[in-house]
Amino acid sequence: MVFSPSMLWRTVIGLEVHCQLGTRSKLFCPCPAAFGAPPNTHVCPVCLGAPGALPVLNREAVRLALRAALALGCEVDRASRFDRKHYFYCDLPKGYQISQYARPLARGGELALASGKRVHLRRIHLEEDAGKAIHDRGAHTLVDLNRAGVPLIEIVGEPELGTPEEAQDFLTRLRETLVFAGVSECDMEKGSLRCDVNVSLHRRGEPLGTRVELKNLNSFRNVGAALEREIARQRALLEAGERVQQETRLYDAARGETRVMRAKEDEDDYRYLPEPDLGVVRLGEEELAREQAALPEPAAARRARWQSELGLSAYDAGVLTATPALAEAFEETARLSGAPKEAANWLANDVAAAVTQAGAGGPRELGYGPERLAALIALVGAGRVSKSGAKDLLAAMRGNERAPEALLTELGLAQVSDEGELEAWCRGAIAAAARAAADVRAGEEKALGALLGKVMAASGRRANPARAREILLRLIREEP
């Protein structure tokens, strides 16, 4: 066997995740926090950094950050504080960012990966976002301050991840936890979830290597791809006997490579100052207990419970926890219908697909509220609509406020169980496919499928297939 030095390298990855809290207004001023407005239309003296303006803390942002901390099992500081972090850039109106440095809102906590591995968290703190500098339009840099002051939490994970896959899974689990706790919508496309990665390589048994920080990772896929590239780059350097420089690199998704953004210099001195314009963020035991109690059940717990108690497949349970709205819709539909598997079947397939396709917030928006889906399931269970007819009914329910039962009649989708009508369609099918009937009579029951198909086609899919099958068999046996 050829000795490969690359087998000796261990990779150490740590993630820092910025997540926009789902508040309506900014962290320190009442400007709307909404995404996508025309430039500089969500700006006031405070987030503009106008002389004399002062920050006042949004208490909903504190509550959501607290939720995140509780959902991740962190130790919450009952008296956290804000600091000013100083640096100059055109998107930072005050010349400092208000962040939590010495006394973050929470420390510790952990996150379970799909593999069961538990990754520890270092801290969670509240901070304000910077504005946006746009470099690719014209000869100048353009500055939009709509985002300046939007509330973020920064979640710092311990460097305990070993592979790009683990890093991606960490992000997936973290995102799911935050979304299910109602902290944030965590939409990377809108920038409400952002990720910086640090990565280093070292030989087993030796001290950790020099860290490189990667920025500009705006999708989970980019996180994986950028890590692959960066690990390969560092390994090549180390194997060539060169040193890895401590620096920050940007990932260029178009070129699939990382490049230096800036070297980590000693001049990087943020001169932290306790924010004199804000007091202590005091959290009482009562508030902590209230938020802990109000925390919704995490997605992983729901999946486990649905599989063990309701008999759902791992796949369905996974699909149904894609969003809190879908999970809630499932829980409620299952409860109302008393048929969890049926509910899962509808929601995980047709409904989930429709929601994704429409870009809707949840099933209810499309007319697939739990009451209506339960009614559909009841109609199927009572044999009043065929499985295939039920699919048409589901399509008809979309965006239509009428009750499923009314729609059933209106669309003529009600399943026909009338003996006379069914017998007529069956006789027609036997006449049209005499050969298949003969095969059935000779004991080849498989051939019955072709006959049943003809019955369904002739009935416009309304025939009750179970009854039709019985009638077909009776007719074939009766006739010599």
Partner 1 sequence: MSSVDLETLRTLATLARLTPSDAELTRLAADLGRILEAFEALAQAPGPRPDEPPATRTRADRPVPALDPEAFLAAAPAHEGGFFVVPRTVGGET
Partner 2 sequence: MSTDDSTELDASALASAHAQGALAACATLEDTLASLDALDPLLESVAVRLDQLARTTAERLDGARQHEFPAGPLCGVPVMLKSNLCLAGVETNCGSRALAGYRPPYTATVVERLLAAGAVPVAMGHMDEFAMGSSGENSAFARTRNPWDLARTPGGSSSGPAAAVAAGLVPLALGSDTGGSVRQPAALCGITGFKPTYGRLSRFGLVAFGSSLDQVGILARSVRDVELALEALSGADGRDATSLDEPPVVRLDAVRLAGLRVGVPAEAFGPGLDPRVRAACEAALERLEELGCVRVPLSLPSTALAIACYYVVATAEAASNLARYDGVRYGPRVAGDGTLAGMQAATRTAGFGPEVVRRILLGTYVLSRDYQAAWYGRATGVRAALAAEFRAAFERVDVLAGPTTPTPAFRLGEKSADPLAMYLSDALTVPASLAGLPAISVPAGFAREGQRELPVGLQLTGPHRGDAHLLAVARAFQEATEHHLRRPALAEQV
Q: Which residues bind partner 2 (CB under 8 A)?
A: 45, 48-57, 84, 86, 88-90, 93-96, 141, 143, 269, 271-273, 276-279
62, interface contact from partner 2, partner 1, none, CB < 5-8 Å by kind: partner 1
Which of partner 2, partner 1, none lies near 273, with the C-beta cut-off 5 to 8 A by kind?
partner 2
Interaction between residue 337 and partner 1 (CB under 8 A): no
Note whether 261 binds partner 1 by CB under 8 A: yes
The Cα–Cα gap between 324 and 302 comes to: 11
Q: How far is residue 130 CA from its own chain's centroid?
A: 25
Residue 61 contact partner, candidates partner 1, partner 2, none, CB within 5 to 8 A by sort of partner: partner 1
Q: Which does 84 bind (CB under 5 to 8 A by kind): partner 2, partner 1, none?
A: partner 2
**C-beta contacts of 183-189 below 8 A and 24+ residues apart:** 183/19, 183/21, 183/22, 183/64, 183/65, 183/67, 183/68, 183/71, 183/153, 184/19, 184/20, 184/21, 184/22, 184/64, 184/68, 185/20, 185/22, 186/19, 188/218, 188/219, 188/220, 189/218, 189/219
400 sits near partner 1 (criterion: CB under 8 A): no
Select 135 or 204, whichever has its Cβ closest to partner 1.
Answer: 135
Q: Does residue 102 bind partner 1 (CB under 8 A)?
A: no
Strand (E) or helix (H) holding 79 = strand 79-80
* Cβ nearer to partner 1, comparing 257 with 423: 257
Region binding partner 1 by CB under 8 A among candidate stretches 104-112, 167-175, 260-268, 399-407: 260-268
169 near partner 1, judged by CB under 8 A: no
What is the C-alpha separation between 280 and 50, in angstroms, rounded?
Answer: 24
**Positions in 34-63 near partner 1 (CB under 8 A):** 38-45, 48, 50, 56-62
Nearer to partner 2, 276 or 480 (CB): 276
Give the whole-angstrom CA distance, residue 98 versus residue 418.
Answer: 74
d(CA 279, CA 275): 8
Cβ 85 to partner 1 shortest distance, Å: 10
CB atoms within 10 A of CB 249: 23
Nearer to partner 1, 58 or 198 (CB): 58
Residue 247, phi-psi category: left (phi > 0), alpha (psi -120 to 50), beta (remainder): beta
Residues in contact with partner 1, counted by CB under 8 A, come to a total of 53
DSSP string for 287-317? HHHHHHHHPPPPHHHHHHHHHHHH---HHHH
- Complex with partner 1: residue 139 or 293, whichever CB lies closer: 139
Choosing from 133, 273, 294, 431, the residue that interacts with partner 1 (CB under 8 A) is 133
Minimum distance between the CB of residue 43 and partner 2, rounded to whole angstroms? 10
Task: Establish if 25 lies at the interface with partner 1 (CB under 8 A).
Answer: yes
Contacts of 389 (CB under 8 A, 6+ apart): 413, 414, 415, 461, 462
412 in contact with partner 1 (CB under 8 A): no
Q: How far is the CB of 154 from partner 2 (least distance, A)?
A: 20
Task: Report how far residue 107's alpha carbon sits from residue 159's, in angstroms, rounded to the nearest whole number.
Answer: 15
Nearer to partner 2, 49 or 318 (CB): 49
Contacting residue, 7, 36, 135, 401, with partner 1 by CB under 8 A: 135
Three-state SS at 173: helix
d(CA 267, CA 288): 40
Residues 78, 259: Cα–Cα separation, whole Å: 41
CB 9 within 8 A of CB 206: no
What pairs with residue 99 in β-bridges?
A: 83, 127
Residue type, 470: E
Would you state the structure tokens that stand for residue 405, as one six-digit string? 């039962």
Interface with partner 1, residue 231, by CB under 8 A:
no
153 binds partner 1 (CB under 8 A): no
Least distance in angstroms from the C-beta of 271 to partner 1: 7
Q: Looking at beta carbons only, is 206 or 266 nearer to partner 1?
A: 266
Q: 280 contacts which partner out of partner 1, partner 2, none, CB within 5 to 8 A by kind?
A: partner 1
For partner 1, which is the closer residue by CB, 61 or 227? 61
- Residues forming contacts to partner 1 in the complex (CB under 8 A) are 23-25, 30-33, 38-45, 48, 50, 56-62, 79, 81, 86-90, 133-135, 139-145, 216, 250, 261-262, 267, 269, 271, 278-282
